[in-house]
Amino acid sequence: MEYNQSEFLIETIVPQDELIISRTDLKGVITYANETFANISGYSVEELVGQTHNIVRHPDMPKRVFKDMWNKLQNQQQWTGVVKNLRKDTGYYWVHATISGVYKEDKLVEYKSIRVPISYEDRLKYQKIYDQYRNIDKENIRRVIYS
Ligand SMILES: Cc1cc2nc3c(=O)[nH]c(=O)nc-3n(C[C@H](O)[C@H](O)[C@H](O)COP(=O)(O)O)c2cc1C
């Protein structure tokens, strides 16, 4: 994968006092997005709702992280983890996400995700871990073309 936009290297910092919240249907199609999610991702709420959640998937994220996420969710367990997300302008932001089921009369109807910022040290740590995972799994390596 190649990127030639310099925005690809620009990080958006998630404010400490705000939560990024979304809900999806059981297939991962966004049914609700709060204003903070829209602001941080660079999309409008209207642009997000109706899209699959991989609209913010960053190419640095290893496939195995999402495999683990969906395994947990499909086994009715909560998933927590660190995610690097892609902004509309190809910049990025890091979050710690807690994703779990939404139940109506004991029936799983949706998933919800609540995300908070992580420390600078953790951002460096997870970038390294995820680079290693992608290397081990022979996924894409990072290639940024400067224009
Ligand atoms: C409630 C919920 C929230 C999600 N949040 C994100 C997210 O913030 N970033 C992301 O890349 N994937 C998120 N996902 C996972 C995506 O649905 C998708 O599996 C992932 O982006 C990998 O894309 P792929 O399944 O097309 O390979 C979320 C899934 C659910 C159910």
pLDDT for res 67: 98
66 lines ligand 1 (CB under 6 A): yes
Flag the least confident range among 5-14, 65-74, 109-118.
5-14
Identify the band that residue 9 occupies on the pLDDT scale cut at 50, 70 and 90. confident
- pLDDT (tens digit, 9 = 90+) per residue, 14-32? 999 999 999 999 999 999 9
24 lines ligand 1 (CB under 6 A): yes
Three-state secondary structure of 82-141: EEEEECCCCCEEEEEEEEEEEEECCEEEEEEEEEECCCHHHHHHHHHHHHHHHHHCCCCC
State pTM to two decimals.
0.93
pLDDT for res 145: 62
Q: Bridge-partner residues for 30, per DSSP?
A: 24
The fraction of the chain above a pLDDT of 70, given in percent, is 91
Q: Which structural domains are found in the chain, ordered by start? A: 6-136 (3.30.450.20)
- The one-letter code for the residue type at 122 is D
CA dist 138 and 126 (Å) reads 18
- pLDDT (tens digit, 9 = 90+) per residue, 45-73? 999 999 999 999 999 999 999 999 999 99
Identify the band that residue 7 occupies on the pLDDT scale cut at 50, 70 and 90. low
The fraction of the chain above a pLDDT of 90, given in percent, is 86
Residue 130 alpha carbon to ligand 1 centre in Å? 16
CA distances from 97 to 18, 71, 79, 94 (A): 13, 16, 8, 9
Nearest to 129 by CA among 83, 73, 80, 78: 83
54 lines ligand 1 (CB under 6 A): yes
Which protein residue's CA is at the shortest distance from atom 28 of ligand 1?
Answer: 53
Mean pLDDT of the 139-147 span: 68
* Strands of the 92-104 sheet, one edge to the other: 30-33, 20-24, 107-116, 92-104, 79-86
30 lines ligand 1 (CB under 6 A): no
- Looking at every residue in the chain, the average pLDDT score rounds to 93
